[in-house]
Homo-oligomer: A and B are copies of this chain.
Amino acid sequence: MALETLQKEQTLKMRKQLIGQSCRLFFSHDPVKIVRAQAQYLYDENGMQYLDCISNVQHVGHCHPHITQAAAAQMELLNANTRFLHDNIVQYAKRLAATLPKKLSVFYFVNSGSEANDLALRLARQYTQNEDVIVLDHAYHGHLTSLIDISPYKFRKLAGQKEWVHVAPVPDTYRGLYRADHPNPAEAYANTVKNLIDEVHKKGRKISSFFVESLPSVAGQIILPLGYFQKVAQYIRAAGGVFVADEVQTGFGRVGSHFWAFQLHGEDFCPDIVTMGKPMGNGHPLSCVVTTEEIAAAFTDNGVEYFNTFGGNPVSCAIGLAVLDVIEKEDLRSNAVHVGNHLMKLLRELQAKHQIIGDVRGVGLFVGFELVKDRVDLTPATEETALLVRRLKEKYICLSTDGPGENVVKFKPPMCFSKQDAERVTEHIDQILTEIEGGL
């Protein structure tokens, strides 16, 4: 297969003509054409190697041979739908169940994180018979009509807030309502949800669910204060709602110490519904919703079939199983712990050196650092952040920004990211920040 069939200029021209411009390119001032990839490295049409610090989808590394071989073998045998019995789907569900609290035992396989979150919304509403949803500010749960409605990150720029959606403050202990100096930020932020529930009830409305990314990502790589989930779950359940943990970005061992990011909150916490996506198929469209027997039973009892044409097919499940194999065999969770800690240490050294780095935070290979104009008012250094990412790209390093102030640089690399990679990228950051601070 040819690596490139068109000149880059021609590709770009056709892209502008043929693909909706709402589908944006990275580095839009000078987009990158990537023709092959391996592990944590991307290669452009000239053979130049880029270090990939952002592809959380290619979780166990780009083009991992164990995944591609498993996919090819199953594609040659069978790719039917789930109306026929097949071993792969049940074997895969069993393997996933082993990573989860026992109570989360009924699976629905779908094609994208958005499909998973939409189904979670349907499950929550069917089970509770309530409509309203509480979400965190700046949250993003997907591109579908129903999910834009529960994503302040999107609906604030589009149709606006629906009457059935209620927004709680994001528990950001760096620049949020309650900060690191607060004696109990988990409790304080949970109380904001409790108060919001009271307001909803006063309006005569009822809560179906609390949707939350286990680690809010577009909100700026936020690490939630531990204990927050337990308290919120208690309030939500008391109001008749269910707790939905969106693990689309954070699942499958990215946090290192645990397979799921919600598990950071301790063994006494279990969501009612968990959604999974991006890393699940290492790039193959594969996602999932898992819930309790009770919630699944309520959905079955409505008497209406749920059929997802591609969801849970033998090829998708073979790929999902192969991803789990690699996470285990290559001990990628340990790698996430060691490399993530090393990266955080290096970034904190840079923070000591560069005033512009206001905060460094992360867990495992979910890491972010925030650039601020000053360390008192925490004014986002938005332009500097954009400049840093552009200059890193010139050094063949792919990073990206997020957060409401677009001033958080986020790391979410393939899980095979190495200590050497962490050293390479932080050395360049050091150099570029020195240049930026020097007015270059």
Contacts and interface: CB of A to CB of B under 8 A. Distances in A.
A18 to B, nearest CB: 4
Work out how many copies of this chain go into the complex.
2
A389 B90 CA distance: 27
Interface string A198-235: 00000000000000000000000000000000000000
B77 A18 contact: no
B14 A84 contact: no
A35 B78 contact: yes
Contact of A307 (B24, B284, B304): B24
Interface residues of A, number: 106
Interface in A87-133: 87, 89-91, 93-94, 97, 105-109, 111-115, 118-119, 121-122
Nearest to A73: B1
A313 interface: yes
Interface in A312-349: 312-313, 315-316, 318
A76 B297 CA distance: 41
A8 interface: yes
A71 interface: yes
A387 interface: no
Contacts of A106: 18-20
A46 interface: no
A143 B63 contact: no
A118 B144 contact: yes
Nearest to A146: B145
A68 interface: yes
Contacts of A5: 87, 91
Chain A to chain B: the 8 pairs with minimum beta-carbon distance, closest first? A79-B283, A14-B90, A22-B306, A18-B93, A33-B85, A285-B285, A145-B146, A72-B72
